[in-house]
Amino acid sequence: MTAHAQDEREGDATAAVESPAPRDEARLLVQSPRRLYLYWSFAHVPRATLRRAFGQLADRFRVAARLVDQESGVAAAATPANGRSLWLDAAPGRSYRAEIGFVAEGLPFVRALASNAVETPPDAISRATDGDETFRTDSQGFARMLAVSGFAQYARAAEATDDQARAPSDDEIAASVDEITAGRARLAAASSPPHAASSASFRVAPSSMSRVARRA
């Protein structure tokens, strides 16, 4: 019996995981800032290649997947698979790709497929807003939407945020500063006492005083 024929006769879960599909494929999808979904398929029976490389040791390997951080190049511990898909934990704001292969105790990970790269979003509510009134809702409506779509942990923060709240632009900040400065200037002008009349306007010449004294 050839190695390929032996692979086709395997009836355990591992053989089902490795059964051929129309093409080799590995797709990584983002579900949330901390959760990724991976699915894959093999266009051939990879254990045959594994057996040619490792001989009888090939039977010790199981299909598994692992995440690789694109920025640091660090690979997470491989997660054994009992099907053709896995949910994988991730960190917010990072770029990942997945590797599907084989793992065995005391032996190195053997890569068979690599997925596309994805980037997880920040673990926070976006401050971006849509200018289209069609998609605008109040903060309570937004919180309900988060709760029913599986993001209840963000709902409280959404309720506490005014639906119009957003980070001001540099131009808006500058305009506010100018308005405050102008307002202070107007207030200072309104509260200042009127300028005293010049003493020269009320000065009486000494000669005039002499004439007044003589008349008296």
Residues 70 and 163 in one domain: no
**Residue 195 belongs to a domain:** no
**Residue 22 belongs to a domain:** yes
Which two three-digit tokens encode residue 95?
């770029």
- Number of Cβ within 10 Å of residue 45's Cβ equals 19
Q: Where are the beta strands (DSSP E) in 152-200?
A: none
| Chosen domain end from 90, 119, 148 | 119
pTM for this model (two decimals)? 0.56
Which of 30, 20, 14 has the alpha carbon at shortest distance from 115? 30
**Residue 205 belongs to a domain:** no
- At residue 12 the predicted structure's pLDDT band, cuts being 50, 70 and 90, is very low
Domain at 56, CATH number: 2.60.40.10
**Full residue range of the structural domain in which residue 161 is found:** 133-185
Q: Where are the beta strands (DSSP E) in 18-90?
A: 25-32, 35-41, 62-69, 79-80, 85-89
**What are the residues whose beta carbons fall under 8 Å from the beta carbon of 75, sequence distance 6 or more?**
66, 67, 68, 69, 99, 109
The predicted pLDDT at position 130 comes to 75
Residues 139 and 94 in one domain: no
**Residue 126 belongs to a domain:** no
Q: Read off the pLDDT of residues 48-106 as tens digits, 9 standing for 90 and up.
A: 878 888 888 888 889 999 999 999 999 999 999 988 999 999 999 999 999 999 999 88
Classify 49 as helix, strand or coil. helix
Residue type, 87: W
**Residue 76 belongs to a domain:** yes
Task: Name the average pLDDT for the chain.
Answer: 75
